[in-house]
Each structure stands twice: as C-alpha cells, then as structure tokens.
Amino acid sequence: MSGISAAFLALSGRQCALRNVAVDGHSDVGKHQDMLPRIGFIGCGAFSTSCLYPSLRLLAFGLEPYGSEPEVELVACCDMDGRLAERNARAFGFKRAYTNHREMLEKEELDTVFVVMHPQLQPALAIEVMESGRNVYIEKPPAKTLTEVRAMQEASRRTGRFCQVGFMKRFSEPYVMAKEIAGRPEFGQLSVYESRKARNAPYPPVYDYLNDFVCHHLDLARYFMGDVEYVYAELVSRTHDPDKLNARLFEREDVYRNWASVLRETPHVPQSDGYLITFRFTSGAIGVHNANTLETDTNLLERVTLTGEGSVVTVEDWYRVRAAIKHQPPFSWEPLVIDKSLEARSMHTGYLGEIRELVAATRESRRPKAATIDDGVACLELVAAVRASIAEGRRVALSEVRTTELVA
Ligand SMILES: NC(=O)c1ccc[n+]([C@@H]2O[C@H](COP(=O)([O-])OP(=O)(O)OC[C@H]3O[C@@H](n4cnc5c(N)ncnc54)[C@H](O)[C@@H]3O)[C@@H](O)[C@H]2O)c1
C-alpha cells in the first residue's frame, strides 16, 4: 500500500463519540456515546450507485476481508422510484428503504444525509435536511444558480450543520501527492497553474457543461492555488441546434429527475464546446484551463501542472505523477495497475477519501476538511465570472461577482 493510501486509512478511529452536536462543538440535541455515525441517502441514481454507495459499503462492512471494524452505520436510503430504493438497500446494506424523503427524515435517527441528484433538485432537499438537524453531503455542482448556493450556505450557518460538496478530486491520490510536493519549501512559491480536461464525448444538454462539469477543475484550481482575483475567458461553440431541439427537453416536467430516459426519448443536440479560462490568483500566481467536449481519445484527457521556482509537478491523465525540483533527482509515481479492487479505484478517484472524511467529521462533530458549501459558492462565483467575461469580452474580478449578484 502506498504512503498516501496508508494516510487515508489512518484518517480515523472507529467510534462515534457525540451525536446530534452542531459542527464545531455546539451541542444542542443530545449526546450518545460509542455509536457509529448514522447515514441516510436520498437518491439511488446511476452515478451515486456506481461511485458513492460502494464507498459507504466499504466503510460499513470493512475495508479488509477479515476483521476490520465498521466505521459507519447505513440506516436508510430513499428514492421516489421504490425499486431503486429497495435495490440499493439490498445491494449496499442499508437497513430500510423509503420512497418519501420526509418520512425517512421523520422516522429515522440520522446524523448525516446524502442528497445526490441533478443540481436543479439538490438545494431544496439539502436545506430541508439541514433544517431537520442533520449534516448533508451534496454532489458537485451544488446548484444551478448563485442564489440557490448562497441559500444553502446561509442554511448551513443558521442550523450549525455542515454541507459537504462532492469535489472528490481533492482526495484523489495523485492530486493529494502533487499538492504535498508543491507545498515543500524547496518547490518555491507556486507561480503558474496549467490544466486541461477534455471529455471524449459531447456533453448531454440536460446538464450545463460549464457549471456542472468544468466545475471540477474550477475547484481544483482553487484547491492548488488558492482564491482567484480575476478571470478572462473565451468560448468556442460547435453546438448546432438551429431547430432549438434542446429547449424542448425542458418542456418535460420530469427532465431533472428522469433525465436519462428523457434524453433517450427526445431528439437533442449534445454540447460541443471549448472554454479557455485564464486566472490571476490572489497570491499573484497565474493560470490557464482548457476545458472542451471536442476530443475522442480516452487518454490525454486530463492534466494538471504546477510550476514553482525551479520546480514543476504534473499529474497526467488523473493518474501519473512526475516532478522535477532543482538539485533533486526526478520523481515519478503511478498507481499499481495490478490492483483492480474497488478499494483501490475509490482511493485513486477520491470517492472513498471524501466519504471517509465526512464520516470522521460527523463522528467528531466538526467541519469536514473537504470542500464545503463555502467552496461551492466560490465555484459558482467563478462560473458567473467566466460567463460575464465571455459575454463582455473583458476580464472580470471575483469581487464584481460578489457585489453585483451576477447570476450563474
Ligand atoms: N463527482 C463526480 O465525478 C460526478 C460524476 C457524475 C455525476 N455527478 C453528480 O451526481 C449527481 C447525479 O447523480 P446520479 O447520476 O446518481 O443521479 P440521477 O439523476 O441518475 O438519479 C437521481 C435519483 O434521485 C431520485 N430523486 C429525485 N428527487 C427525489 C426526491 N425528492 N426524493 C427521493 N428521490 C429523488 C430520482 O428518482 C433518481 O433516481 C449530479 O449532481 C451530478 O453532477 C458527480
């Protein structure tokens, strides 16, 4: 096992010391000793079933085949489609399945609840969960608009519950390693950020490519380089929709809840776009990100390069790490290709690490050291600044977005 993997596995103890305690230690409901964090889950869709539920199962039933202690209790999952709720309860070991989230929130004792679905649907449910006294995990992007993401931030502050956002790349092994290398004194001051992320398929129009997909790398830029002072952005669009087919998708009332079948049944035009986004960070460093849906190769899709002073570290294809620091031997690392276990994949991608941190934060009644709704707000502010820059052909300061309520 790599040092990074060991660090993830060493992240936490096993028992939940305090329950129903507002984050950062303000007790309000009560204390329950020696219990595991109790998890609820709303949404049994395609992504959560393939990437999040398996990590929870690993934490509930042991990371090793013999003898490891559970870290979490899987209480109940919920989907409006009862077959999906029953399926996920059975497959991942949740005790009960629901079709109505309110009934689940009323009947079950839960500490933290996942809300994973289209960003159009997440904000109202996330706020309801926090108002019921539970912490919440939502997927990236947290919302479609700045108004909604700020409402979630306000609810988190008002209720004292944390709202973690699924920017899991922050927990991905190669990116954790790159950040550690770039933080060494001999790396010098971080000066230039360069990244690319292409999709090897056009993007389905029920999601917004910039807000809903590019957001991963807007967050990564902040994770590595800190806050952004201003952006300048350009767009090239090869999406041809003269008959406005895509608008018709949104005439279907179930488009956000049932988007995969709506796409199968309704003619539409995928988004074929490219964005070039340049950054000036508040640290003085500069950066650029190329995001596009115009490529077909499955390699060469993702790269992040950090330049210091006499130093560079790069992560190629979300996989291989290479670094060169003046007066030091070159460094190179890649995951063991022979290890195809679910644990290895979840560790590499970051899903296991982010969920493990959420569980530890729940148990310890503290804010997670992961992306929170504050990072979600920062991300949607960046999206708004990019849109404004493209529309107005000028560089846009983040301070303008904060004061003028530009809408993402
Ligand atoms: N982190 C990543 O790399 C990554 C990758 C893909 C998708 N995502 C994010 O994941 C989310 C989508 O997840 P998915 O693909 O699992 O979702 P999905 O759209 O496939 O399924 C959502 C499920 O939620 C259910 N649902 C909706 N409203 C409900 C309610 N009020 N009560 C109970 N159930 C309800 C629906 O019936 C549906 O089964 C999006 O936010 C997307 O941006 C993240």
Nearest atom (ligand 1) to Cα of 81: 37
Nearest CA to ligand 1 atom 7: 47
DSSP string for 233-250: EEEEE----TT-HHHHHT
* Joined tokens for residue 297: 């190769």
Residue 13 has a pLDDT of 33
If one residue of 41, 44, 47 were mutated to test the ligand 1 pocket, choosing by the most ligand atoms within 8 A of its CB, it would be 47
Q: What is the pLDDT of residues 329-369, one digit of tens each?
A: 999 998 877 766 777 778 788 999 999 999 999 999 999 99
Q: Cα(118) to centroid of ligand 1, in Å?
A: 5
Residue 361 has a pLDDT of 98
Residue 377 has a pLDDT of 98
CATH of domain 190-307+373-402: 3.30.360.10
Nearest CA to ligand 1 atom 43: 140
Nearest CA to ligand 1 atom 9: 139
Q: Which helix (H) or strand (E) holds 303?
A: strand 302-307
Residue 28 has a pLDDT of 39
Q: Cα(116) to centroid of ligand 1, in Å?
A: 4
Kindly list the distances between the CA atom of residue 116 and the CA atoms of 15, 126, 154, 188, in Å, as whole numbers in the listed order.
Answer: 26, 9, 20, 40
- For the domain 2-169, what is the CATH superfamily, name and number? NAD(P)-binding Rossmann-like Domain (3.40.50.720)
How many Cα atoms are found within 13 Å in the side-chain-facing hemisphere of 350? Answer: 20
Residue 201 has a pLDDT of 78
Domain ranges of the chain: 2-169, 190-307+373-402
Residue 162 has a pLDDT of 98
Residue 67: partners with Cβ closer than 8 Å, 6 or more residues away:
none
Q: What is the pTM of this model?
A: 0.91
Residue 155 has a pLDDT of 98
Q: Cα(43) to centroid of ligand 1, in Å?
A: 6
| Dihedral sign from CA coordinates of 365, 370, 371, 374 | positive
- 321, 334 in Cβ contact below 8 A? yes
Q: What is the pLDDT of residues 227-252, one digit of tens each?
A: 999 999 999 999 899 999 999 999 89
Residue 280, strand partner residues: 230, 286
What is the 8-class DSSP label of residue 293? S
Residue 404 has a pLDDT of 67
DSSP helix/strand/coil, 207: coil
Q: How many other C-beta atoms can be found within 10 angstroms of the C-beta atom of residue 75? A: 20
- pLDDT lower than 50: segments of the chain: 1-21, 25-33, 406-408
Residue 31 has a pLDDT of 39
